[in-house]
Chains A and B, each alone.
Chain A
Amino acid sequence: MYAQSNLSGSFETNTIYYLNDSKPGIIAPDDKLGSNNYFKVDYQYKKFRAGLQYEAYLPVLQGLPTTLRNSGLVFKYASFQDSNLAVTAGDFYDQFGNGLIFRAYEERAIGLNTSVEGVRLAYSFRDLFHVKGILGRPREFMDKAESNIKGASLSVDLASLFKLEHSVAGAAINVINRYVSYAGQEPVNPNVQAYSFNVNWDVEAFSFQGEYAYKSKDNSVYSNNKNKNGSALLLEIGYNTTGFGSLLSLRRLEYMQFGTTRGIAGVGRDLNYLPALTKQHGYSLAMLNPHNTMGNEETGGQLDIQYRLKSGSLLGGKYGTQLSFNASTYYNLKGDAVHGYDFLGTGNTKYFQDINIDIEKKISATLLTHLFYSGQVFNPVVIGKENTLYASHVAAGDLLWKSAPGRSFRFELQHLWSRDYLKNWGAALVEFSASPAFTCFIGDMYNYGDTGVHYYRLGGSYTFSRTRIALNYGRNREGLICAGGVCLYMPAYTGLNLAVTSSF
Chain B
Amino acid sequence: MKRYLLFCFAYLSVAIVSGQTQLPSVPLNTLKGETINSHALLNDGVPVVISFWSTICKPCIEELNAFRDQWTTWQEEVSFKIVAVSTDDARSVSRVRTFAAAREWPFTVLIDKNQDFKRALNVNSIPQLYIITPKGNIVYSHIGYTPGSESKVLEVLKGL
Chain A residues with CB under 8 Å of chain B are 1-3, 6-12, 35, 37-42, 44, 54, 56, 58, 71, 81, 83, 93-95, 98-99, 103, 105, 108, 127, 130, 168, 170, 200, 202, 207, 209, 236, 238, 240-247, 249, 273, 275-277, 280, 282, 304, 306-308, 319, 322, 324, 400, 402, 405-408, 433-439, 461, 463, 465-468, 484-485, 501-504
Contact = CB atoms under 8 A, between A and B. Distances in A.
A210 to B, nearest CB: 12
A306 B102 contact: yes
Interface string B34-69: 110101001000000000000010100010000001
A175 B12 CA distance: 43
A200 B33 contact: yes
B25 interface: yes
Given A2-B25, A275-B89, A466-B142, A504 B20 contact: yes
B91 A275 contact: yes
Interface string B98-142: 111111100000000111100111111100100000001000011
A54 B3 CA distance: 12
B98 A243 contact: no
B18 A276 contact: no
Which of B62, B97, B98 counts the most A-chain CB atoms under 10 A from its CB? Answer: B98
B97 to A, nearest CB: 5
Which of B95, B114, B119, B152 counts the most A-chain CB atoms under 10 A from its CB? Answer: B95
A105 B115 contact: yes
B142 A37 contact: no
A368 to B, nearest CB: 8
A306 B25 contact: no
Interface of B: 3-4, 7-8, 10-11, 14-15, 17-22, 24-25, 32-35, 37, 39, 42, 56, 58, 62, 69, 89-92, 94-95, 97-104, 113-116, 119-125, 128, 136, 141-144, 146-149, 151-152
B98 A306 contact: yes
A40 B58 contact: no
Which of B22, B128, B136, B146 counts the most A-chain CB atoms under 10 A from its CB? Answer: B146
Contacts of B123: 10, 503
B97 A245 contact: yes
22 contacts: A1-B25, A9-B11, A12-B124, A37-B7, A41-B14, A56-B7, A95-B113, A209-B94, A282-B58, A405-B148, A406-B149, A407-B148, A408-B147, A433-B146, A435-B147, A435-B148, A435-B149, A439-B144, A466-B142, A468-B125, A503-B20, A503-B123
Contacts of B125: 468, 501
Which of B100, B120, B143 counts the most A-chain CB atoms under 10 A from its CB? Answer: B143
Nearest to A37: B7
Nearest to B66: A368
Nearest to A157: B34
A7 B149 contact: no
Given A93-B115, A94-B114, A200-B33, A40 B89 contact: no
A462 to B, nearest CB: 10
A245 B58 contact: no
A168 B114 CA distance: 20
B102 A202 contact: no
Nearest to B147: A408
Given A58-B3, A170-B33, A308-B104, A504 B19 contact: yes
A10 B33 contact: no
Given A38-B124, A58-B3, A503-B121, 16 more contacts: A1-B136, A2-B25, A6-B21, A39-B10, A56-B7, A93-B119, A245-B101, A273-B90, A280-B56, A304-B95, A324-B102, A402-B148, A406-B149, A437-B146, A468-B125, A484-B91
Contact of A504 (B14, B69, B97, B147): B14
Contacts of B151: 405-406, 435
| Top-9 shortest CB links A-B | A245-B98, A306-B102, A436-B149, A275-B91, A485-B91, A8-B20, A3-B22, A10-B122, A503-B122
B98 A247 contact: yes
A236 B94 contact: yes
A461 B120 contact: no
Contacts of A35: 4
Contacts of A468: 125, 143-144
B159 to A, nearest CB: 16
A18 to B, nearest CB: 16
A246 B125 CA distance: 28
Contacts of A3: 21-22, 24, 136
A468 B34 CA distance: 34
B149 A242 contact: no
Contacts of A42: 120, 122
Nearest to B26: A81
B15 A247 contact: no
Contacts of B99: 245, 306
Contacts of B92: 280, 485
Given A8-B20, A56-B3, A242 B104 contact: yes
A39 B7 contact: yes
B90 A238 contact: no
Contacts of A9: 11, 14-15, 122
A102 B9 CA distance: 37
A153 to B, nearest CB: 12
Contacts of A242: 101, 104
